[in-house]
Structure 1
């Protein structure tokens, strides 16, 4: 009996879907416009996939969702939670207030309930000050009924998270067990301001994640699909719904990550530069051994500086729906605005009145879309200059992500990839793989399952190897429990932090393992 896995990727412009068989062969793929409520767009994509592929829904065993909805909510400042911000760190951590450096419009939305209380730790884990539990309880009573999510950050909590954990206990006592609480020690790494910002953003997108996750589940149910559901995260692996709703910030870069992973799979190349051309932007990233190169610097998200792990992506305002602005003197400006999902209504070749990059490519016979007669009147010399500048923008971005001057393989994917040529400066070879238009959905469908453990061990020179082996075995066990195939699981991340505030060479060990989904025979 043929079994399938369903991959869905919800972007700002399109919702992409793909069906793969157990051999990871593409059975069918398509794009539908993303809808305002997300759910109906996902439903439409799944419904059309099933109808056109003519598969029995009972044979779909896995369903994976990747989405940019949380990212878009932050960037567009829409649908965000009502949050409270609690920093544990007085008197040492009062000189810089929460949300410093955050854009004014976002600070206005998120900063209405912001507090600093006594507590926090030194870099070695010693208490700066005892946690002011009475103040935490007082804050909880003050914000009750006014907020639905709380961000808690304590100084050096990645070394000692006891104050954050206790604060969460008190908040739940007063606000109830249903309140969403984001702890910075579980979200970011060392670096107070950036970690706090990441935690605040996490707390602000809980509702968006919930709406998206429930919309996916409902769309599956409406189509009669009873599959194991997973959600994609930044590092190219999968997580459960429960984990997604607790740490939605981990989904914010899964769109580009999925595209890079899908491109690697389609081009059969684990080391290349990937150019994902969407309707609004082109995202350029680097594959290293099949996974996205991680950013080594603090990442800005919607103008907010954070420090959680993100793929190193360079984005430019150039996509299939990017608007071309013409001046009377025959000069032009490309974007950065885009007609997005309205391309099929507003683009010239589709009967609209807006000149877009797609119209330029059609006018030069580079791609055949819509009605070419509707752009036949445009000056070919002008279109050629615009197109050459479009290609230059891609070449310049590729050059920025390179770490050497040597030519590198380049893979074009995404719905707008058809606009670009087979020869690019700086590329040793250019791939336009089949099904590249839905590389992001394919990336979500082929994603691996991951498991993680974080424990404190007493480690010495004599027992280090033995202890780390035990920890690795535990992480592998967790990954297998989460649904991974035992034969494919491997350690993908290992971190150990000595805890000077505890006796006996205490070390916090954090290990992540990943493997392919286990398939029932």
Structure 2
């Protein structure tokens, strides 16, 4: 028998599950996320392995969904010193790198950048010739001052050759192991947003190395020595640890997508709205053909505007630990403040002194956690008013995610799901599963590996079929590099967007493929 181990680190809880060969959950646990993250991961891992009684050597795949990269950006901690090389001189100098960035972030990343000769027009013609000697002189000046480099070529999504040439020179000068991020492999067409995403990817080098190494060491410490290791991506799929070391930015937003994929599996549904209520926040996403719907607009990450792929998620300050208050006018406030992982110390049902949404759920008879007598003094009328407020918050959020006025199916997951009302306007059916509290860890465990490729093609120069086959080939290469079994690859999405402002029937082609774990 072979097993999978899935772990998901949230702001309040770290969940872990073990699945058998048929993807049945044989053991699960939910424990508090610790300040150092790694301890919580190890605690959850040890608990499920000990309770399941399986031989750790029989675990063949181990998956981790983590918020560490997101937290590093938001908190401005543990980020690498980044040097930015933009290929596009003399064009593109009117808007410099780091434009509109928060000042504290620029200071943390060193603020070093240079605009060198190179880059391409929208049709692939060069803006100016790339100069390797110019780059070598810059690298000589930067030596010892940067820990990672982001290379961003104007329209490199059409012509990536200059970025590749620049990367080769950096490896010659600084060594093969020096981290280099190429914008042509990370973001979409727009220069500034793509540049921003590439800078963030470069900045996360130290964080992802520590995360990957810590995960591997925790596995070995617990006797899991034969498992292939993966990190969760933000499109609901997985990538190998080695691939993640090069593309840490793809882990940002992976927590909600794990829950969406886990919800899809538990509910056996491929099209629905998913509501994941945790201890501090609730995340809403949409399942489309079994995968999370992606955002169609640029997304801010830690105050920085980017255009790499991100899930279409709404987060609201509502969770099982959300604090409930009433002012002198009788107005009720729920969250966004939360007792978080301290719920078993501070919530009324556990003997604390802070009223939370969990206390209200127990008072209304929706849950039996803690001690009921501790909340018996809350008036039923007040508790009902709080639930009405919770219902209003959730219904408004669901309405924002809908693309039509039709009622939708709602899959309800997460440890805080006990606070949700039994009926919601705009919702046809509410689906819950007994293992929904660990849907995020399940989503990490059952995920496939994906490859995603985007490029501009002129349909006057290239036949449409040839363009689609070319893009699919690159997407498949990415999937295999990320850890997919080549014989299991299948096409899941084709998106063609004509660009009216560009001549030659220029079309943006985006291809996504998925495959099973290697």
TM-score normalised by structure 1 residue count: 0.90
Match of 1:383 in 2: 383
Is the contact between residue 12 and residue 69 of structure 1 (CA under 8 Å) also seen in structure 2?
no
Q: Is the 8 A contact 2:387 2:421 kept in 1?
A: no
Secondary structure at the aligned position of 1:224 is classed as coil
Matches within 5 A, 1:288-327: 288-327=288-327
Residue of structure 2 in register with 1:73 after alignment: 72
CA-to-partner distance for each residue in 1:374-403, whole Å, 9 max, x for gaps? 333334433322221112111100011001
Contact 1:422–1:431 (Cα < 8 Å) also in 2: no
- What is the distance in 1 between the residues matched to 2:296 and 2:93? 28
For 1:418, the equivalent position in structure 2 comes to 418
| Contact 2:358 2:418 survives alignment (8 Å) | no
Secondary structure of the corresponding residue to residue 162 of structure 2: helix
Cross-structure match for 1:172: 171
- 2:465, 2:291 → 1: CA distance? 27
Moved more, 231-240 or 108-117: 108-117
How far does the alpha carbon of each residue in 1:218-272 deviate from its partner, in whole angstroms, 9 at most, with x for none? 1111111121112211222221111101011111121111111110110111111
The within-5 A match list for 1:134-145 is 134-145=133-144
User: Are the counterparts in 1 of residues 349 and 375 from structure 2 also a CA contact under 8 Å?
Assistant: yes
SS in 1 for 2:19: strand
The 8 Å contact of residues 184 and 199 in structure 1, kept in 2 or not, is answered as yes
Shift, 1:122, TM fit: 1.1
Shift, 1:352, TM fit? 3.0
- Structure 2 unaligned segments of length 5 or more: list them: 499-504
Contact 1:274 1:411 in 2 (8 A): yes
Question: Could you say if the C-alpha distance between residues 327 and 449 of structure 1 is closer, same or farther in structure 2, counting changes exceeding 3 Å?
Answer: same
Query: CA distance change for structure 1 residues 348 and 142 in 2, over 3 Å: closer, same or farther?
Result: farther
Query: 1:116 maps to which residue?
Result: 115
Aligned to 2:352: 352
Classify the secondary structure of the residue corresponding to 1:220.
helix
Offset, 1:37: 2.6
Instruction: Find the aligned partners of 2:160 and 2:35 in 1 and give their Cα distance.
Output: 39
Tell me how far 1:63 sits from its aligned partner.
1.0
Q: Does 1:89 align with 2:88?
A: yes
* 1:17 CA displacement: 0.6
Please tell me whether the aligned partners of residues 266 and 434 of structure 1 are also in contact (alpha carbons under 8 angstroms). no
Summarize the alignment of residues 105-504 of structure 1 with structure 2, pairs less than 5 Å apart. 105-110=104-109, 112-225=111-224, 226-451=226-451, 465=465, 472=472, 484=484, 488-494=488-494
Q: Distance in 2 between matches of 1:474 and 1:113?
A: 32
- Distance in 2 of aligned mates of 1:481 and 1:115: 31
Residues 187/481 of structure 1: CA separation in 2 closer, same or farther (3 Å cut)? closer
Alpha carbons of structure 1 residues 160 and 472: separation in structure 2 relative to 1, 3 Å: closer
Single out whichever of 506-515 and 64-73 deviates more from structure 2: 506-515
Output the CA distance in 2 between the equivalents of 1:441 and 1:345: 25
Superimposed CA distance per residue, residues 108-147 of structure 1 (whole angstroms, 9 cap, x where no aligned partner): 3235223323332211122212334444333323332232
In 1: Cα distance, 2:468 partner to 2:117 partner: 36
Q: Please say which of residues 464-473 and 212-221 is displaced more in the overlay.
A: 464-473
Say which is worse superposed, 295-304 or 281-290, in terms of deviation: 295-304
The answer for the alignment partner of 1:501 in structure 2 is none
After superposition, what is the alpha-carbon deviation per residue over 1:12-67, rounded to whole angstroms, capped at 9, x for unaligned? 22111111111111111111112233222111111100111111212211111111
Q: Deviations over 1:55-105 (max 9, x none)?
A: 121221111111122112222222222222222223211111222222333
267-276 vs 115-124, which deviates more?
115-124
Taking structure 2 as the reference length, the TM-score comes to 0.90
Write out per-residue CA displacement over residues 391-446 of structure 1, whole angstroms, 9 at most, x where no aligned residue.
Answer: 21111000110011111110110111121122111110101112001101111111
Change (3 A) 1:466 1:161: closer
Task: Say yes or no: does 1:22 pair with 2:21.
Answer: yes
Partners of 1:312 and 1:473 lie apart in 2 by 27
Measure, in 2, the Cα distance between the counterparts of 1:473 and 1:134.
Answer: 34
Please tell me whether the aligned partners of residues 99 and 111 of structure 1 are also in contact (alpha carbons under 8 angstroms).
no
Offset of residue 354 of structure 1: 2.8
Q: Is the 8 A contact 1:38 1:212 kept in 2?
A: no
1:139 and 1:324 map into 2 onto residues whose CA distance is 56
Q: Is the 8 A contact 1:258 1:444 kept in 2?
A: yes
Name the structure 2 match of 1:513. Answer: 513
SS at match of 1:275: strand
Residue 486 of structure 1: CA displacement? 6.5
- Work out the number of aligned pairs and report it: 511
Contact 1:122/1:155, CA 8 A, preserved across alignment: yes
Residues 126 and 311 from structure 1, CA distance in 2 versus in 1: closer, same or farther, beyond 3 angstroms? Answer: same
Structure 1: distance between partners of 2:362 and 2:102: 39
